[in-house]
Structure formats: C-alpha cells, structure tokens
C-alpha cells in the first residue's frame, strides 16, 4: 500500500473547531505519492473542512499536516521540523513542509499544493488563456525581476512569458479548450469551466492536486471523460490527486485509496474494494441504524399478510 510505504502527505490528529462545533475530530490519514486518493463521506462530514485545512484556507485548531517533496519523509525528520518553530526545511531531500503553519498562498507557491473549488472559482472576466497565465504567477514574477525587469522589457521575461504560453497551450490541449483560448472564462459552459479549473491548478506545477467535487453537476458522459482526464493527468505528470467526490461510480472507478469520514472522524480507510464492503461505510451511507432496522422489519411484517390476502 503506497499510502503507507511512500506517503506524500501525512495528516496527524487533525481537529478543526468552529466555536462549539467540532467539524473535524482527531483525523489521521495518509496520501500516497502518485495515488489517486478519494475523501468521501455523507453531507456535512467535514470533507471540505479537511481540504481547507490542508490548503491553508482554515487554520487547523490542532494537529499536523506534513508534506514531503522528493523521497518519502522519515517520521524522525518530521518530528525534528515539528519541534523547531520553522514552517519548512530548505535544501533538504526530502524537502518537508508543515502545512498547518503556512499561509494559503505559500502552500500553493512553495509546498506546491493546488486546489479547485466546489463552486467553481475562475477569473470570469479574464480569458481562458489568461486564467492559465495567472496560475504561473510565481515563475513569471521571478522572471520579470519583480516587475522591474519586465517594465524595462528585458528579454529574459519575454522568453519566460513565451514558455508560460506554451505550457498554457499544452494544458488547453489536454482539456480540449484550445479553440476557446481567447474567450472570457465566464462564458464557457459549466463542464468546460470545471476542466479549465483543473488545467489552471495544473499550471501551478503541483505535487498534490486537491479537487473538491470535480464531477458535481456533470452528466454521466462528462463524468466518464473527467475520469479519463484525471488518469491522463496523473500518467503524464505523476501528480498525486486528492479528491472529494459524491459520485460513487467515479470514486470506485478511479481511486487507488479511499478514506471515509463521518462526523469529522475516519470510519474506513483502504482500497476502493475494501471500503465498499465495509459495514460501517454502508451504514453511514444508507443511514441504517437499529431503529431503522426495526422499522424496516415492521414494514416487511405488515406487507407480508397483505400480499397473502391479495393472493388468495
């Protein structure tokens, strides 16, 4: 199991409280390098909260979120960094990042964790191409000498911009939006906006791509295309993918590893096959409880004589 032998992201005892509400309680799981990991659970289970903690949009109440670039991190190295008051290591292999200590934009720029949103967040007034160029902000900012070199029109910046355009064009080709490159992103149909958001996240050159319900609002054909797209992205770039999804056909089809949470705690963790047959998962999803079982029995008992009556 790659998430045990070669974890990219290690979430330890993560808790998130909003006032009196405990959204995530003592949650631990690992994301394997190169895996497609699905985070599933019933509505309100705290999936998006976990995402927001990983990507820095929420400051976790307690717990540790460690990400390693390069080789798998040894627990000792993570502990050493945790005891220091630093956020990350510099020039080590593996390079370690403690995401719970970093602000959101540094998580994206330095730890290279990209994300999409449940309700699509594109730059609607800017063109499709510009959306992808903005995503390459860090590289271009560097090349433009923090705008001074760019203002003077240095050749290094022009070369970097040409490269950025090529990368954007490549991703547009992958998501099939090349012919819409110069259209405002807000005018694209819904499914295309979803694909563009994924392409934009990939333009930041991430090691971990977090997708919040990528198949929401897509029909069956589009969901199948999305599955193909995600597989293709992983094969091409080796990026690890962590996704929240409600569409079980997508989850079961695509995931190497499934983590199930309910009421902010983990109830199952394993391959898609093992999770599917886990009685606690079935109970969580179908809402089967003792009272419900008893009620179901009563219904069956009532129905049986009625049917007998009709039959006679």
Partner 1 sequence: MGNIGEALKAALIAALVTFGLAFPIVALRTDTNLSNQLVLNQRSGLALALAGAAFAVRFVFALLYPAGFVRRAAKPRSEVPPHPYLRYLPRVGLALLLAFPFIALAVASAGGPGILKVVDTYGIQILIYVLLGLGLNIILGLAGLLDLGFVAFYAVGAYCTALLTTTYGFSFWIALPIAGIVAALWGVLISLPVLRLKGDYIAIVTLAFAEIVRLVLVNWVPVTGGYAGLSDIPKPTLFGYSLGPGPDSLWTALSIPYAPIYRLAFMYYLVLALALAAYFVTLRLRTLPVGRAWEALREDEIACRSLGINTVTTKLTAFAAGAFFGGLAGAFFAAHYSFVSPKSFEFLESAMIVAIVVLGGLGSMLGVAIAATAMVGGTELLRELGGLQAVFGSGFDPAQYRMLLFGLAMVVLMVLRPKGLVSTREPSVRLAARPTRGSPAHRPQPAE
Residues at the contact surface with partner 1, assessed by CB under 8 A = 55, 57, 104-106, 108-110, 114-115, 117, 121-127, 129-130, 133-138, 140-141, 144, 146-147, 150-151, 153, 157, 161-162, 165, 168-169, 172, 178-184, 187, 200-201, 204
Of 153 and 311, nearer to partner 1 (C-beta) is: 153
Residue 279 in tokens: 């009685």
CB nearer partner 1, residue 173 or residue 289: 173
Q: How near is the Cβ of 115 to partner 1 at its closest, in Å?
A: 5
- Decide: 116 and 212 in contact? Cβ < 8 Å: yes
What is the closest distance, in whole angstroms, from the C-beta atom of residue 266 to partner 1 in the complex? 25
By beta-carbon proximity to partner 1, the closer residue of 204 and 223 is 204
Helices (H) and strands (E) in the chain, counts: 14, 10
Nearest Cα to 120, choosing from 112, 110, 131, 109?
131
Q: Give, rounded to a whole angstrom, the gap between the first and last alpha carbons of the chain.
A: 58
CB 22 → partner 1: shortest distance, Å? Answer: 24
Q: Which is nearer to partner 1, 108 or 275 (CB)?
A: 108
Q: How far is the CB of 233 from partner 1 (least distance, A)?
A: 17
Indicate the residue among 78 and 160 with the shorter CB distance to partner 1: 160
CA distance 276 to 273: 5
Rounded CA-CA distance 204/112 in Å is: 7
State in angstroms the smallest separation of the CB of 223 from partner 1.
23
Nearer to partner 1, 96 or 102 (CB): 102
The pairing of strands 7-18 and 62-69 is antiparallel
Q: Across the chain, where does the E strand assignment appear?
A: 7-18, 21-32, 36-40, 62-69, 95-98, 113-115, 208-212, 240-244, 257-262, 265-270
Compute the least distance from the CB of residue 74 to partner 1, in Å.
28
């Amino acid at each position: 199991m790659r998430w045990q032998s070669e974890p990219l992201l290690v979430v330890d005892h993560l808790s998130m409280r909003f006032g009196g509400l405990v959204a995530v309680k003592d949650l631990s799981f690992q994301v394997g390098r190169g895996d497609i990991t699905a985070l599933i659970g019933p509505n309100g289970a705290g999936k998006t909260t976990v995402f927001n903690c990983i990507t820095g949009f929420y400051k976790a109440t307690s717990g540790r979120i460690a990400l390693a670039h390069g080789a798998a991190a040894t627990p000792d190295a993570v502990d050493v960094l945790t005891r220091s008051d630093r956020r990350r290591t510099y020039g080590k292999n593996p390079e370690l990042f403690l995401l719970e200590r970093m602000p959101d934009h540094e998580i994206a720029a330095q730890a290279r964790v990209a994300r999409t949103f449940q309700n699509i967040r594109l730059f609607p007034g800017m063109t499709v191409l510009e959306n992808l160029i903005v995503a390459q902000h860090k590289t271009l900012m560097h090349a433009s000498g923090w705008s001074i070199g760019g203002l003077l029109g240095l050749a290094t910046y022009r070369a970097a911009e040409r490269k950025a355009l090529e990368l954007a064009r490549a991703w547009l080709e992958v998501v099939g939006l090349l012919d819409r490159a110069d259209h405002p992103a807000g005018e694209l149909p819904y499914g295309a906006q979803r694909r563009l958001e994924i392409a934009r996240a990939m333009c930041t050159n991430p090691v971990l791509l977090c997708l919040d319900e990528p198949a929401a609002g897509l029909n069956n054909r589009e969901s199948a295309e999305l599955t193909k797209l995600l597989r293709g992205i992983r094969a091409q770039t080796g990026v690890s993918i962590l996704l929240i999804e409600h569409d079980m056909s997508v989850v079961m089809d695509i995931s190497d590893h499934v983590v199930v949470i309910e009421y902010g705690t983990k109830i199952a963790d394993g391959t898609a096959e093992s999770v599917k047959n886990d009685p606690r998962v079935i109970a969580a999803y179908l809402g089967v409880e003792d009272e419900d079982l008893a009620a179901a029995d009563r219904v069956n008992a009532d129905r049986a004589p009625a049917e007998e009556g009709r039959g006679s």
